[in-house]
A and B are shown apart, each in its own frame.
Chain A
Amino acid sequence: MPAVTQNQTEKAIKLRKTLTPAGRAWRTFRRHHLALASAFILALLVLASALAPVISSYDPDAASLNILAPPSPEHPLGTDDVGRDLLSRLLHAGRISLSVGFGAAVLTVVIGVLVGAPAGYYGGRLDALLSGLINVMLAIPILPLALVLSSFVQTNLTFVIFIIGGLSWPAVARIMRAEFLSLREREFVDAARVLGAGSGRIIFIHILPNTLAPIIVAATLQVANAILLESALSFLGYGVQPPQASWGNMLQDAQRYLRTVPELAIYPGALISLTVISINFLGDGLREALDPRLQV
């Protein structure tokens, strides 16, 4: 064996040893340029929303007589139909839409795990019952049901998060059920059981960490899903209530001005699309980075 090759082999072995699973995931993720760019855009969007009062000093809900103004130095994107600064409103709406997205995604995953894990782990009657519930939930068109629910009460932010989370979990539960169904048969679970671990300990300490990869991917996609659902609800007038701005309800108002001031409709929708597409690409990159079956 020539010296160079041996040297390279040694280097490769050394490299492999020093790579932690997280390091390997990062290496795969880095190669997914679109996902990397998306993570950057997303960070910018979150930052811009978080710093909304710093970037634009206008109160997003303060009306003025300067209505439907074109872009100017005072109002970089102009004003809306009751004279509110459009940039300010877009940034503050971003806070709302992103919080609903993240909040609802967390709730979706928590419920999904709590339903899917026992169904897959215990099997039998419990599984039949929970799977039945999942199937019934999947048979209900989400958007109309969310509309019916939110039409009954004066909705607020928390309520919108609960409605979206409470209706989106079956998809996650199905994934978690399948994961637990396969993982419970593995040796490390047997080993834990032999050592005297109880079911709760096995589910949460031994199996759950092993499902982290699909959970992270599902959670990411649920954020996108929740933002879309929130915008649809708000667009139809049953989500986030005015004067509080969300990208969805800004579009509801903009509908009337499509002919005259189309910018009012273009900006919020473009921001929703940009956010959702970034999250989806991020999810794609994470899936490739975290799924060991896809790794070469």
Chain B
Amino acid sequence: MNRYLIRRTLLAIPTLLVVSVLLFGLLQLAPGGPAALYAGPDAGPEDLERISRLLGTDQPAPVQYLRWLGGVLRGDWGISFRYREPVVGVLAGRLPNTVQLMAAALLIALLLSVPFGVVSAVSRWRPVQYLASIAAMLGVSIPTFWLGMMVLLVFSVRLRILPSGGMATIGLEHDPVDRILHLIGPASVLATMYIAAWSRYVRSSLLEVLHQDYIRLARAKGLSEWTVLTQHALRNALLPLVTLIGLQGSSLVGGAMITEVVFAWPGMGRLLAEALSSRDYPVLMAAFMIMAVLTVLGNLLADLAYGWVDPRIRLS
């Protein structure tokens, strides 16, 4: 197990390096040099040269990349073109908000998808099955941003139950009720896709397990259907879900980004969208890398968790 863990962790490092090289190369191709962006439209050619030397952008691309990488490892992520302060500081203000949003969404999704999946799997009643499959399909098919807009329309414009975006009402930043009210909308919207996808998964996985011989044996022993379900079937049926959750890191990052934009949630995703339109390359690069790290971390945790819950693959 330990060797496996180390090997998997080490594999994540070259993956992230390749991602960073790709992105750095990509940003080199961007039209308009960073110096011009930093200096603004009034700068003369001499100013540009000075700024470009200051920023290090007069060096060849490989040198710039190595400098950037060295800086990242030392905790120096460059200066934001837009905020004129260290990127680390800008990110530190935003990352916790995104993590909070993602954690809330994952929690909601987990709490709802398992019961939904179980009910739709064991229900013999046709309308329930139809309803469940349509609801699940709706959940994975509705675009996140549109669902967000509809939630805003119904719950904050019409019913006025939920706030219309942001993280807190001004003046009430430390009121937990207010914070939770602000979180409900975006977290549920972000969770919807996963509730749908996971409950479908739980359903098919549970149906497969319920046909196994050991379930028939458990029933033959006279155990109640509830015990068979919770003690025998569910445990095995939920195994693949662990992997699925980890593998969805990439989509979670994208989903969080677009949810943040719709709900004006001050997180990483919105920061990335803003950095994109203001061409704030240092922030863009850093925000993107953090998202890539989150994705790779999700994949890694999926692998490790699978080894942990399923003893059969521990040795491989």
User: Contact: A258 with B157, CB < 8 Å?
Assistant: yes
User: Contact: A148 with B284, CB < 8 Å?
Assistant: yes
User: Contact: B253 with A232, CB < 8 Å?
Assistant: no
Interface size of A as a range: 35 or more
Q: Which of A3-11, A122-130, A138-146 lies on the face that meets chain B? A: A138-146
Task: Decide if B52 is an interface residue (CB 8 Å cutoff).
Answer: no
Q: In the complex, how many angstroms separate the beta carbon of B278 from the nearest chain A beta carbon?
A: 11
Task: Decide if A135 is an interface residue (CB 8 Å cutoff).
Answer: yes
Task: Decide if B142 is an interface residue (CB 8 Å cutoff).
Answer: yes
Task: Decide if A292 is an interface residue (CB 8 Å cutoff).
Answer: no
Q: In the complex, how many angstroms separate the beta carbon of A261 from the nearest chain B beta carbon?
A: 11
Task: Decide if A197 is an interface residue (CB 8 Å cutoff).
Answer: no
Per-residue interface assignment for chain A, residues 223 to 264, with 1 indicating a CB less than 8 Å from any chain B CB and 0 otherwise: 010001001100111100000000000010011001100100
User: Contact: B272 with A144, CB < 8 Å?
Assistant: yes
User: Contact: B292 with A139, CB < 8 Å?
Assistant: yes
In the complex, what residues of A have CB within 8 A of residue B291's CB? Answer: 141, 144
User: Contact: A273 with B29, CB < 8 Å?
Assistant: no
User: Contact: A140 with B273, CB < 8 Å?
Assistant: no
Task: Decide if A15 is an interface residue (CB 8 Å cutoff).
Answer: no
Task: Decide if B63 is an interface residue (CB 8 Å cutoff).
Answer: no
Task: Decide if A166 is an interface residue (CB 8 Å cutoff).
Answer: no
User: Contact: B143 with A272, CB < 8 Å?
Assistant: yes
In the complex, what residues of B have CB within 8 A of residue A136's CB? Answer: 15, 18-19, 22
Task: Decide if A281 is an interface residue (CB 8 Å cutoff).
Answer: yes
User: Contact: B141 with A148, CB < 8 Å?
Assistant: no
Q: In the complex, how many angstroms separate the beta carbon of B18 from the nearest chain A beta carbon?
A: 5
Task: Decide if A276 is an interface residue (CB 8 Å cutoff).
Answer: yes
Q: In the complex, how many angstroms separate the beta carbon of A101 from the nearest chain B beta carbon?
A: 13
**How far, in whole Å, are A125 and B238 apart by their CA atoms in the complex?**
35
Q: In the complex, how many angstroms separate the beta carbon of B49 from the nearest chain A beta carbon?
A: 24
Q: A144-B272, A224-B141 are in contact. Are A139 and B149 (CB under 8 A)?
A: no
User: Contact: A281 with B137, CB < 8 Å?
Assistant: yes
**Residues of chain A having any CB pair with chain B under 8 Å:** 34, 135-136, 138-145, 147-149, 151-153, 224, 228, 231-232, 235-238, 251, 254-255, 258-259, 262, 265-266, 268-269, 272-273, 276-277, 280-281, 284
With A139-B292, A141-B254 known, 17 other A-B pairs at CB within 8 A are: A34-B130, A136-B18, A139-B299, A140-B295, A141-B288, A143-B257, A144-B257, A151-B277, A231-B145, A265-B146, A265-B150, A273-B138, A276-B141, A277-B137, A277-B142, A280-B137, A284-B137
